[in-house]
Structure 1
């Protein structure tokens, strides 16, 4: 290997070669001979490894692409030869990444823009690069990637309200758990907790699929309709929402529980808790709860429940709070 400075033309050649290898090694028909040639290419210059790793970082953004073959992994985790090499490599990456992204963009595999947003202890409003507006609930996280044929959001956790800018030729797709929501321009809310997802449509229309691997676009929702799904569902469940629906109360900082069984209320509550609240048995889960709560103060709700419901608190072996129903005494004869 050598630390001899490279010309701009050599930089560009390395970028093109790295893009070629990144795409080729992800193909199922890549041969043993090609993999050996890739190994030889890596050994020619330390920048080859750095540029290939930069390609893999971009590749990771594209969730639809196939994962690298496990036999490739050892190739891309070699130790740098010196701090000087690392510094020079960083400079090369700065120049090369735009070229690599351009190659992937033309093929429709890689995005030309990428954004990541998180909301921790307050509701956050953000603007995506396409002009769409998103409100993020507490404890929520999403990424936005703009591809040649689609705009794609991945909701990592939490809840978000979308006001999508209209673009018929460039669909807007939200991935949530194993499913997806596809639109061209509309307003809708996506709530996710563990493997449960709920989609509420406010305006326009959306197509909801419970499994991104299934063929077809999914089921269509119209205004005032709701879809929900969880792991293993072949199709989402569709229902109607009404004027008194409180699903979007979080946008005003509130959680509204309208006479729900505890088993149904806990996913809504636990979305905001560091340690999820649990019920000891089905009889406890059937106890009903109502009220309006501040989403920033739901920790206090856990300790106050024994004061308003016939329950008491214990802890399981993981330290999570558990609600237990208080046994009713038999009436005296």
Structure 2
């Protein structure tokens, strides 16, 4: 792949920057890269600081390093030497050991690691179910029950207590349970609150909405949406050990699946990225996500390390 016309533009979409960086990475890993390719690559790096950042992230994932390396020129020879000398096995070992590491969220009372879910009984008898890579902290007093969602997503089944409201704070968003079952999740497009049973009062610094059973709201860019009818059961299907996607753009599927495994997956084909797919993924087999995608969809996956995979149309 050479410096083609699609690199002559600087799309604002971060996914496009990641895609371009991955194209250069794959090209420069190949012995067939020409001096013109390298010159075009340097020009691409210098065009936008986001390009250098995205490329450095791919280098880090390839090498299994904990810090971003300096990006001055491609190091394809170094990468090939690492691969040929058994470096890929070292990265695999690091990735395997890392899969058991829990999040270290500051002040978290309950948390899960990547690819894990867990259910906790709180001191008031309420249940908190945490999705992958999630963390909450508690502040229960005589006057209120406050939960702070630090990251990820949580589903709550609230024990009745008329004297102490059950509150979930997530950034600028506050959710007060007026019923029993609801979820709060931090997603790429904002904070989502979905209600399974009864009502939740959701408020931002400037807005407030009562969200009814079977509805959800989105808080993004400082604005709270109107409640919309939602298949909340599908939205929180991770509670039953699966992720359900119905006619979902493939790039959105990959983004959500990325939360369940270590490493980065990049969809390289824009047409493939936009293609709607329907698929059910077993979260208890998160380590086989790539294999399941490859067997179930017309795609090809190039695995550069356990930390980096590029997805192409077949």
TM-score class, shorter:
0.5 to 0.7
Structure 1 residue 318 displacement after superposition? 12
Shift of 1:126: 1.4
The count of aligned residue pairs is 207
> Residue 301 and residue 124 in structure 1: after superposition, are their counterparts in 2 closer, same or farther (change >3 A)?
closer
The answer to whether structure 1 residue 180 and structure 2 residue 170 are counterparts is no
The alpha carbon displacement at 1:316 in A equals 8.9
CA deviation profile, 1:147-204 (whole Å, cap 9, x unmatched): 4543211112222211112234422221224422122442112232356322221112
The aligned counterpart of 1:107 is none
Task: Determine whether 1:300 maps to 2:300.
Answer: no
Deviation at 1:240, TM superposition (A): 0.4
Q: Which residue of 135, 143, 147 maps to 1:153?
A: 147
Change over 3 Å in CA distance of 1:306–1:135 after alignment to 2: closer
Aligned to 1:313: 301
Where relative contact order (Cα < 8 A, 6+ residues apart) is larger, the structure is: 2
Partner-residue secondary structure (3-state), 2:286: helix
Contact 1:174 1:180 (C-alpha < 8 Å) held by counterparts: yes
Shift of 1:233: 3.7
Partner of 1:235: 224
RMSD: 3.0
Paired with 1:252 and 1:318, the residues of 2 have a C-alpha distance of 27
Q: Is the 8 A contact 1:166 1:184 kept in 2?
A: no
After superposing on structure 2, the runs of 4+ consecutive aligned residues of structure 1 that deviate more than 4 Å are 314-319
For 1:267 and 1:238, the matched residues in 2 are separated by: 24
1:144 match: 138
| 1:312 counterpart SS class | strand
Check if 1:189 corresponds to 2:183. Answer: yes
User: 1:223 — aligned with what?
Assistant: 213
Aligned residue in 2 for 1:249? 237
Deviation at 1:303, TM superposition (A): 3.8
Q: Per the alignment, in what secondary structure is the counterpart of residue 277 of structure 1?
A: strand
Q: Secondary structure of the equivalent of 2:152?
A: strand
Runs of 5+ consecutive residues of structure 1 not aligned to the other structure: 1-113, 327-333
Post-superposition shift, 1:123? 3.1
* Higher CA-based Rg: 1
Distance (whole Å) between structure 2 residues aligned to residue 115 and residue 157 of structure 1: 10
Question: In the TM superposition, what whole-angstrom CA distance separates every residue of 1:228-266 from its partner, at most 9, and x where no partner exists?
Answer: 233x141135320249x4223222211112231113323
Change (3 A) 1:308 1:172: same
Rounded Cα–Cα distance in structure 2 between residues aligned with 1:115 and 1:309? 38
When normalised by structure 1's length, the TM-score is 0.54
Cα distance in 1, alignment partners of residues 189 and 247 from structure 2: 24
